[in-house]
Chains A and B, each alone.
Chain A
């Protein structure tokens, strides 16, 4: 009887794995988490794709700069300047 080596390794579900993938972009994973995730990614192509996709999302979002007009109107500034000068 041939058993796969992976049958004997501790395993986590895709649900847990995707959470760890997401968390790895926010915080440092513990050694245990890193190992569990590595084992899972070794056998799960879907989670490997998930990881790639959410990293792509980050790259896209960080390179996106919608044109924003962030300068306040001069009239508004004048009014505020006056208001601040008049305060006791």
Chain B
């Protein structure tokens, strides 16, 4: 066994906060996130013989946590009708004029100062409201991509999507958020 994993009692101090931060990106509920961290450590305890030392212990723990998060989200999404999870062409249709094919709500020029706007709590409340119009997995994919800056591979693994699904979902999110924010904020 790798020297680094010999003292399970020390894992908590070394890795727990990092794992918790990572889990919170995907799971807003703190209690659920804590439980997943605990499950990760218990699973690690059982399988630590298999840690080959090819990666750092932290990377290894994160790998286990990712699987736990993915299992949790899959179980959660199973309760939601498939139509609300996956974005298809039909969902995109509504954003375009069926006659001329242009964007149905013409984009206006936005004027704002990013540094000022990002500090504006009212704007982020509006953003959260707009996000509610999206299916939960689409909203989550958008936040992971744009806020947390995770890469495609990572998001796809945890949300159990293909890259093509993800790109359609991100596109749908952008069409929707753009329209909503324009109406409720930039052009209000």
- A interface, CB within 8 angstroms of B: 13-15, 18-19, 22-23, 25-27, 46-47, 49-50, 52-54, 56-64, 66, 68, 70-72, 76-77, 80-81, 83-85, 87
**Could you tell me the dominant secondary structure of chain A's interface residues?**
helix
- Is residue B178 within 8 Å, beta carbon to beta carbon, of the partner chain? yes
Contacts of A58 in B (CB 8 A): 146
Of B50-58, B70-78, B103-111, which stretch is located at the interface? B103-111
Given contacts A54-B178, A77-B16, contact A62 B147 (CB under 8 A): yes
Give the distance in Å from the alpha carbon of A84 to the alpha carbon of B48 in the complex. Answer: 13
Contact of A50 among B24, B147, B152, B178 (CB under 8 A): B178
Interface size on B, residues (CB 8 A): 49
Greatest chain B CB density within 10 A among A46, A53, A76, A85 is at A53
Report the Cα distance A54→B8, complex, angstroms.
Answer: 46
Q: 19 additional contacts, CB 8 Å, given A14-B102, A50-B103, A68-B24?
A: A18-B175, A22-B171, A26-B152, A27-B167, A46-B106, A56-B114, A57-B174, A63-B114, A71-B17, A72-B34, A77-B16, A80-B38, A81-B9, A83-B38, A84-B11, A84-B42, A84-B45, A87-B42, A87-B45
CA distance A19 to B16 in the complex (A): 40
User: What is the predominant secondary structure among interface residues of chain B facing chain A?
Assistant: helix
- Write out the residue numbers on chain B whose beta carbons fall within 8 Å of the beta carbon of A50: 103, 107, 178
Known: A18-B171, A70-B17. A52 touches B12 (CB 8 A): no
Would you call B117 an interface residue if the criterion is a C-beta within 8 Å of the partner chain's C-beta atoms? yes
| B residues apposed to A, CB below 8 Å | 8-9, 11-13, 16-17, 20-21, 24, 34, 37-38, 41-42, 45, 92, 96, 101-103, 106-110, 112, 114-115, 117-118, 124, 143, 145-147, 149, 152, 163, 166-167, 170-171, 174-175, 177-178, 181-182
Return the chain A residue nearest B117 by Cβ.
Answer: A60
